[in-house]
Homo-oligomer: A and B are copies of this chain.
Amino acid sequence: MFEQLGLIGCGLMGGSFALALKRAGLVKRVVGYSKSPSTTERARSMGVIDVEAPSALLAVSGADIVLLAVPVSATEATLKAIRHLVSRDMLIMDVGSTKRDVIDAARRVLRDNIPAFVPCHPIAGKELSGVDHADPELYAGKQVVITPIERTDPAKVQRATQVWEALQCQVVHMTPEEHDAAFAAVSHLPHMIAFALINGITDQEQGRNFLSLAGPGFRDFTRIAAAEPKMWRDILLANRQELLAQSKLFQRALLEMEQMIEGGDSDALETMIEKASDTRARWRLSQKKH
């Protein structure tokens, strides 16, 4: 049981964490701060947080658990804002979709207090962001990747693992590098592709007409393209190295298919499609549920 959660960022991710922690009976009090005062106020009136903090620093004051739930690009500034009240007794976690850049920022800012910081990425989300969509069930049954570094306190990693497991998450430990490569492949690259596909179509004179013919396959394929631009700009930039490496591998596979199609190599093409189709048919999201 924690005495006080200091929540920085009261949006979908942060708000849902606070609600889940409260419902699990794991925290007595939630003190929250959001950049936008109206968000903080809304979070309090919804019961997501108990007390509004006027600054990130004051949200941390008295907290024994701190969650950074801000865009990855805001991590460094947020850590700077709170560092004077951060102590090694706290458990500090984030929820960012990229880990190396977050860890780099934490190293630069937290210095001697870095052992208290456990980098986390809960694989959960919704199409709708904001505290209004905060949901105590958001994390239940989802995976959380924890990417400790050498200097992370093993006791804090254990504590963080217990917290997420108490919220019915399945915790996976990886290195930050493995994490960033994996998410470049299965999330960031698909987003970049979906953005490029849509722009490639609408840049054509007849593109809007083409879109009016698109069916359910297109709907599902491009659903991720409706994502929040600022957040995705930040993610793509934060993970640029792994993203560009994954994009090269994708383009190599695409070129291979193009050559088969151009050369009319029907058998090889079928083999390629079959390989992808089999992999996808065997893949199940439910593998990640308890």
Contact = CB atoms under 8 A, between A and B. Distances in A.
A285 interface: yes
Contact of A229 (B195, B236, B277): B277
Contacts of A198: 275-276, 279-280
A274 B225 CA distance: 9
A36 interface: no
Contacts of A244: 258, 261-262
B202 A181 contact: no
Contacts of A272: 195, 199
Interface stretch (A15-23, A59-67, A107-115, A207-215): A207-215
- Most central of A142, A249, A273 by chain B CB within 10 Å: A273
Interface string A216-251: 111111111111111011001100100110110111
How many copies the complex holds: the figure is 2
Interface residues on A, range: 35 or more
Interface string A7-21: 000000000000000
Name A's interface SS: helix
Given A221-B194, A262-B244, A269-B233, A275 B199 contact: yes
A285 B221 contact: no
A281 interface: yes
Contacts of A190: 197, 217-218, 221-222
Nearest to A274: B229
Interface string A192-207: 1111111111111011
A271 B251 CA distance: 23
A182 interface: yes
Contact of A223 (B172, B200, B221, B276): B221
Given A178-B209, A203-B249, A215-B285, 14 more contacts: A181-B210, A187-B214, A189-B197, A190-B222, A196-B253, A198-B280, A199-B276, A200-B252, A220-B224, A225-B279, A233-B269, A233-B273, A236-B261, A240-B261
8 contacts: A190-B218, A195-B276, A197-B253, A227-B277, A233-B269, A233-B270, A237-B261, A240-B264
